[in-house]
Structure formats: structure tokens, C-alpha cells
Amino acid sequence: MALAVSGPLAAHDTTRDCLDDACTVTSLFAADDQGGASAGGPIAAQRMGSWGIDTAGMDTSVKPGDDFFGYVSGNWAANTPIPADKSSYGAFMILRDLSEARVHQQLEGYALGNPATDGDAAKIAALYRGFLDEAAIEAAGATPLAPSLTAIRAAGDKTAIAELMGKRNTSFGVTLFGVSVSDDQRDPDRYTLYMGQSGLGLGDRAMYLDEKFAPQRERYLAYITQMLELGGWSEPAANAARVLAFETQIANAHWTRAESRNRDKTYNPVTRAELAAQAPGFDWDVFFTAAGVGQAQRVVLRQASAIPAMAQVFAATDLDTLKAWQAFHAIDDAAPLLSKAFVDAEFEFRSRFLAGQPEPKPRWKNAVGHAEGIMGEAIGRDYVKLYFPADAKAKMDALVANVKVAMGERLKQLEWMSPATRAEAATKLAGFGLKIGHPDVWRDYSALEVRNGDVVGNTLRARAFEWDYRRARLGQQVDKAEWGMTPQTVNAYYNSVKNEIVFPAAILQPPFFDPDADPAVNYGGIGGVIGHEIIHGFDDQGRKSDGQGYLRDWWTAEDAAKFEAQAARLGAQYEAFEFPQLPGMRINARVAMGENIGDLGGLTIALEAYRRSLGGQPAPVIDGFSGEQRFFMGWAQVWRTLWRDEALRQQLVNGTHSPGHIRAFAPLRNIDGWYDAFDIKQGDALYIAPAERVRIW
């Protein structure tokens, strides 16, 4: 579970499953023949004021109990425009911009060479500079699409369509059934094959079935028509209507997002024979063979009842509609790599219309993302040499240890938890793994073939390289050292099957973590994040896996009922929030439940850890703010977020996190210490009576 998604989710690809030391820069690069030369000195992170809080961004005329987001970030929000190439903006995005700028500087320093012989730096340079070569891409026009569309046109029956769907992980196109290889939730030491619902260009089923999204469907229909026309597909308007009708039928079969995150229901192992019997009307043998996993005789279904229903829709749909559906998605999938007509069309629909983004990103930003998406760990290997000193890890180790101790103390104090469940919870906490900064063993890209000037070919070969890597592990022992994020990623996550929390290097800087800031602010920032990730092991879904990562119910029925009652009360608080600019839109508390529990529990244990760190001594007062005031301000500052209306709508529809500006204050309303710190009283807008406050962890 990732900490946050700061931008909206446009659901473009529904099949794919997540400091500064200038004096040593030159020698570090020179010592590594896989690296490149920096195009300048390292780019420093911006500190937040003199002690960790941007006090100039506060609006102290606002009463904390009425609008805590406004109190901590009101002046910042009033005076900060959302950049034209963004649909949302805030602390996460500012830090991601920093990471992006640093990587950009790195990539500018990699020289073109022979990617076949000159190591990772030459491959990265080929990926990056090839994407920047707009003249060559424009000259190619739609030609790079021709093999994909030719294969679709040649499909003579539905078996051929099933074969194309099986090749989704290595080609342009779409599938109804997304296959992946990951740690087995019932055998955490082995990899297994998973399959889940897919196939919707608008992402969530609600976009097709809810009347309030009729404008989005109307514009999507026009977009399908436009893309089919650009790709030279016959009868684009008529075929677009058939594609949308087909996807609407598929949406009817899909599980809701809330159902799809329920681990009690999403682990359904079946044999291939059982799958064929349960979901007739689709050539499963051809599909799995085309996917390169024909040897697998067992697959875990994520949405067990949706798969047969989708197979039935497939069987009842005419071949020409299925071919048009494949053609549209192949064009849509490849569009960012093609000429300006395709790039502009994709931007206008997915970024401007769906997310409200006024202008495209500069080309170099997409080029950075393209290279990172293919060789992210190789780029990260050089990134950490510049931006992750050893003492940062040591300080994080200490913070994590303190927060874990606080969690252990909370377990002892919980009145609602029985001794049997408490003992299991303590065992799970003791077994938590921790990864900070970067992998110890880096990914080997030697088998990846990259060619200068071949953007589309490089992308397809990279997809094949990545899928070959994943599928070859089927049935093999799990690599416990593997990372799910690159070091330059501004995020963090908890992995339930490995029972570990992971913090990439890029998040370990202001406003999350500043080794020179006031400790209270660090505990409210990165401490709250650490707590959030720990709590993911005990949230409404994380609690269903034990200390070994095994999916099982280790709770007494009575304890589970008490937990769920508290979780439902928390969900009701979040669903009560209104968004006046988006009538009828609410937070889906069942979908965001784990993240909301993570925020509340994470802050609770981080506060306890901060108090313990004082060693019984009073915290100093800084600029008139007490230690606990600074702690809560540190949390709220992390969740500074501004939204365009369209982006906020997309987040509420497709996201699993509550919007950042809500996260800045919503969990605090259930923490007694917040009321004490800011003298919040009955009558204040955010006040909740003590008896009504939710207390889980």
C-alpha cells in the first residue's frame, strides 16, 4: 500500500498493477563505469523555515479548531497557483518536482553511445534522448503503430483476439483479464500467478454506470472516435459507439473498488480446468500460452465472479467490435510515443478534460518519466550517490525504532483487544521488515535491448524484458530483498506479504524529514508517515495477514467486531465531508478505509513516540509554539494540496486515498492531544465530543 497519490488517477492503463554532498559528486560518478557525468552540482532540497515549518505560509487569523488546513497553510494556499502543467499541487508534488529535476540533471549528463556495449548509461541516454527527438518521431507519424493494427485486422476469430489479449504485457492493446506474477498470499515464500478484471478505458465502473458521469462518457466516445480516425480504422464513429457499449457491459460485470480491496474475497485459487469450466466462452489455453505462462496450472482470481461474467460478455460480442476495441486501446496506449496529433489528442482528453490540466508538461519531463519507467533502478543507483548520505539512514532507523516501540506500547494499552489477538499483533509488529533509501542489490539490465532512435521499439522490448523477468519467477522462491519503488520515488509503502515497510530516499527530505529541523516537526512529518505504514499492517485489510505475511484470520470474532465498528464510525466521518464545487461527490470510505485508518493510527503512535523521545523533559517553545503544536503542524504541512475541480473528481472516483487537504486535519479530530494543544472547544467547526472520537490503534 503506497502512502499517497498526489495527482488524479485517470486510469489510462488498467492492466498494470505502487543529501547533498557537492564535494564528492565528481569522484562518485567517475568511480562507476555504469554511471554518467552530472551536468552540474547537486540540486538542494528547500528547507521549510528555520525549524521545519513554513510559518509564512500559515494564516494565524484562522482558528485552528475551525479550519486547521487554513491555519497551517492558508497563506500558502491563497498565494500558490497550481502550475499550468499540473492538475493538483502540494507538498508531495513539490518534492516530486525536485526529484524529477535531479533526475533530469543526471540524464542530461549521460552521453549517447552504443547501448549494446556501453553499459546502462548509454541505454538510459538512448531512451531519454530518443523520446526528446520530436523531429524523428513526427516524421514517423503513425507508422510505428502499423504492426499492432495489422495484427488486430488479421484476427480472424475470437481465439485470435484471446491471443492478442494474452500478449498485453508485451504489446500495445488491452485485455479483459490482467495477469501478473507476485508473492503468494498463502505461500509467502513463493511466486504465483494472479488474474484480475481489466478492460475499461475510464477506469472505475462508476464512470460507465453513474448518471453524473454522463459528460465524461460523452467526451470519451468522441475520444475513441478521434483515436480510431487517427489510426486509420474504418467507420470510426460507429465503431466507437460499439466500443463504449462493450465497455459498459464489462463495467456491469466488474466488482466495485471496495469489493476489489477485500482480501477475504480476492484470493480465489483455481486450476486451469476449473477456470475453463467456470468461465466458458473464452479460449483460456491460447490466452495463457500467448502470455508466456502456459505452464501454469493454477491461477489466483482476484474477482472470482466477475471473470465468468466478463467471459460471457466477450463470447456474446461480435468480432468486429472486439477488433475495434483492441485497435482503440492500442492507439491510446501508444499515443504518448507517437507524433503530435496523437500526443495532443491524448492530452486533451486524459489530462485537460478529465484532470483539468491547462497545459502539457514540457517534453523533457515526459522523457524523464519514459526513461525512469524502463530503467528506474539504474537511474536510482546514481541518484543515491548524490542525494542519500549514510547518516540519513541512521536517523531514520532511530525514528522507526521509536515509532515501533510506541506501537508496542499502544498494543498493551488497548482496552478492546483480547490477550490472544494482542499476542498475535505483537508478534507481527516484532517481525516488521524495514527498507530505507535504496536496494542493497541493484537490478541487472544487461539483457535489455535498447537502440538509439527507436522510441516505440524500445518501449515494446522493455515491456517484454520486464514481463519475461516477472513470469520466469513463477513458482520460484520470493526475492525478499526486492524493492517495489525506485529510490527517486517520493512515496512509501507497506507490503503485507513480506510484512515490511519501505521508505525510498527521495521522501526523506523536507517537509517530511529534515535532520536539522525541530524533532517535533520530524515526528509529525516522517514520524506520522512511518506510523501510517506500520498501521497498514493492522488496518482493515492489513490485519488479515499474519507476521509471516500469510493470509489468515488471526483475530477473535469479538475483537474483529469491535474493530469493524470503530472503522465504520471513522468511515462515516470521512463520508460526511462535502465538496461544494462537485455536487454529489463524496469520499468512498470503504475504498479509502485503509488509508484513513493509517493516518489516524499513524499519527497516534507517532505522537506517543515524540512524547517518549523527550525523556520526561518538557519540550522547548519555538516562536511561541509548543512541541505538540509543532507536531500537528508538521503533519498538516505534509498534506498541503491544491486541486483543480476535474482532478479532485478523478481522485474521488478512482483513488484509494482521501484528498490531501482532508488528510491534513481529518485524523486529528479523533486525537485528544490535538484538542489540548490548540485549546479546541465545543462549538469549533472541527470539534468532535470525546465520546464520539474514534479510537482504533
Q: Span 142-338: which CATH code?
A: 1.10.1380.10
Which residue in the block uniquely carries the three cell numbers 537502440?
Answer: 451
Cell digits of residue 55: 510559518
> In the prediction, which pLDDT does 392 show?
81
Residues in the chain: 697
Domain boundary assignment for the chain: 142-338, 388-440+478-678
614-620 long-range contacts, CB within 8 A, separation 24+: 619/520
Nearest Cα to 13, choosing from 511, 514, 350, 457? 350
Alpha carbons 341 and 354: distance in angstroms, whole number: 19
> Residue type at 344?
D
Cβ neighbours, 10 Å, residue 639: 28
Q: Is 388-440+478-678 in CATH node 3.40.390.10?
A: yes
| Same fold for the pair 142-338 and 388-440+478-678 | no
Peptide bond into 511 cis (omega under 30): yes
Which pLDDT score, from 0 to 100, does residue 3 have?
63
The pLDDT assigned to 41 comes to: 82
C-alpha cell at 7: 495527482
- Our measurement of the distance from residue 429's CA atom to the centroid of its chain's CA atoms, rounded to an integer in Å, reads 24
- 462 to 342, 371, 376, 591: CA distances (angstroms): 21, 10, 12, 33
Burial 245-258 (b: 16+ CB within 10 A, else e): ebbbbbbebbbebe
Residue 39's pLDDT is: 53
Query: Can you give the pLDDT at residue 4?
Result: 55
Indicate the residue type of 98. Answer: L
Report which residue type is found at 26: T
User: What backbone torsions phi and psi does residue 602 show, to the nearest 5 degrees?
Assistant: -65, -45
DSSP annotation of 508 reads S
DSSP state of 213: G
Q: Using the 8-state DSSP alphabet, how is residue 176 labeled?
A: S
Report pLDDT for 389.
83
What the block records as the C-alpha cell of 427 is 508478534
How many DSSP H helices and E strands does the chain contain? 29, 9
Mean pLDDT of each 10-residue bin along the chain, 697 residues long? 50 34 20 41 91 97 98 98 97 96 97 97 98 98 97 98 98 97 97 98 96 97 98 98 98 97 96 98 98 97 98 98 98 98 98 97 98 98 91 86 94 93 96 95 97 98 98 97 96 96 95 93 96 95 95 95 96 97 95 96 97 96 98 97 97 94 98 98 98 95
**What are the distances in angstroms from CA 260 to CA 165, 247, 255, 305, 660?**
22, 18, 6, 11, 23
Q: In this predicted structure, what is the pLDDT of residue 279?
A: 98
